[in-house]
Amino acid sequence: MKFFSLFSAFISLLVNTSAQADTLDKQSVGFRYTDNVYLTPESKTADSYLLVNSRFQFFMGERILRMKMDYADYSKESDNDYAGLTLTTKWGSVRSADLDLKLFHKNYVNENAATTDNSFTHTGAGAALEKSWTPNSNVLITGGTSYDTRFFHDFNGRNDHQLMLFGDLDFNSYSKVTPYIYADCGLVLSSLAAYSNVFFDIGGGAKGPLSKDLSWLVDLDLRSVSYSNRNVDETLILTKRRGSSQTTTVTNNEQTQTTTIGGGIRWGYDKNFEFESRVNSTAQSSNNPNFAYKNDEIYFSLSYIP
């Protein structure tokens, strides 16, 4: 209940600064197909789902409250259906770095999907310090740090705390191609020790024009996670001199390495409307075979941008 109280206090404080205007932000509706909805190593289950995103801006004095609402409706595996709400605002600055605050809630409508560490109903809050530099007119560098806390409802009192460092490198159009690179690293400390981990993520992508209203985009993401409180026994075969070998068993922390590659096209066929179609392919390897999987997705979306 304390997180719902935080939501109420956050909204009340902003509303009391006297809202001046409400503005509709980006709205989108999409259709996705996945060939492995439960991210299992074998016996894949395919499904399709509708994904709706709505964004709004509320102008309150010198502050802007941004609200994002998400809803996913699966055609067959309804335990994956969810509704989400995220509120963010720039609260001020600390030594020329922007201070952003957020509150969020994700509710699995029927039951918890439990396909990833965070695919359970949860509520949370976070803060981030972010600063940008422009060493020249073609490069934008952004770096910062963030803290999030998540409370998982009906999950043995599970409460996660995440600390993260992040950085982005964006380039202006270079020979009609606009590339970007990002990286982040951090740790999760959980009241349920099995969910504590250290992670590292790096990726990038690019986009460019195909015609006046049509553009292409590609991206790649590499993520590594190590769980200090999950142990996996691995069998190693050590080759000795003269061709002999020895089998031994060692205990290591559970680790996962995830690679996602995607690409697609984007069509701005009207000043306020945008159509996007893309394909994503994800492969995860792990020293725990229960967490190795492959998943391919096809995605179509239509967006209205005021």
Instruction: Please state the rounded mean pLDDT for residues 283-293.
Output: 92
The residues with which 37 forms a beta bridge, in sequence order, are none
Which comes out higher in pLDDT, residue 248 or 264?
A: 264
Distance CA 88, CA 104 (A): 9
pLDDT at position 8 over 70: no
Q: How confident is the model at residue 117 (pLDDT cuts 50, 70, 90)?
A: confident
In percent, how much of the chain has pLDDT > 70? Answer: 86
Q: Alpha helix (H) ranges present in 16-162? A: none
The separation between CA 126 and the C-alpha centre of its own chain, rounded to angstroms, equals 14
Rounded to a whole number of angstroms, the distance between the first and last alpha carbons of the chain is 36
Q: Which domains does the chain have, with CATH numbers?
A: 2-304 (2.40.160.40)
Name which of 103-112, 163-172, 187-196, 242-251 the model is least confident about.
242-251
- pLDDT digit string, tens, across residues 51-76: 999 998 888 777 888 999 999 999 99
CB-based contact 72:109 (threshold 8 Å): no
Q: Which pLDDT score is estimated for 93?
A: 82
Phi first, then psi, for residue 5 (nearest 5°) are -65, -40
Who contacts 86 (Cβ-Cβ below 8 Å, separation ≥6)?
Answer: 67, 68, 102, 103, 104
Residue type, 84: G
* Alpha-carbon dihedral 292, 293, 294, 298, rounded to 10 degrees: -130
Q: Are strands 293-304 and 273-286 parallel, antiparallel or unpaired?
A: antiparallel
Looking at every residue in the chain, the average pLDDT score rounds to: 86
Distance CA 247, CA 252 (A): 16
Distance CA 24, CA 68 (A): 11
pTM of the model: 0.84
- pLDDT digit string, tens, across residues 179-229: 999 999 999 999 999 999 999 999 999 999 998 899 999 999 999 999 988
pLDDT at position 11 over 70: no
Q: Burial letters for 180-189: b for 16+ Cβ neighbours within 10 Å, e otherwise?
A: eebbbebebe
Phi first, then psi, for residue 62 (nearest 5°) are -90, 0
Q: Which pLDDT score is estimated for 246?
A: 59
Q: Which pLDDT score is estimated for 176?
A: 82
CB atoms under 10 Å from CB of 231, counted, come to 11
Instruction: Please state the rounded mean pLDDT for residues 99-115.
Output: 89
pLDDT at position 234 over 80: no
Q: Burial letters for 37-59: b for 16+ Cβ neighbours within 10 Å, e otherwise?
A: bbbbeeebeebbbebebbbebbe
Distance CA 300, CA 306 (A): 20
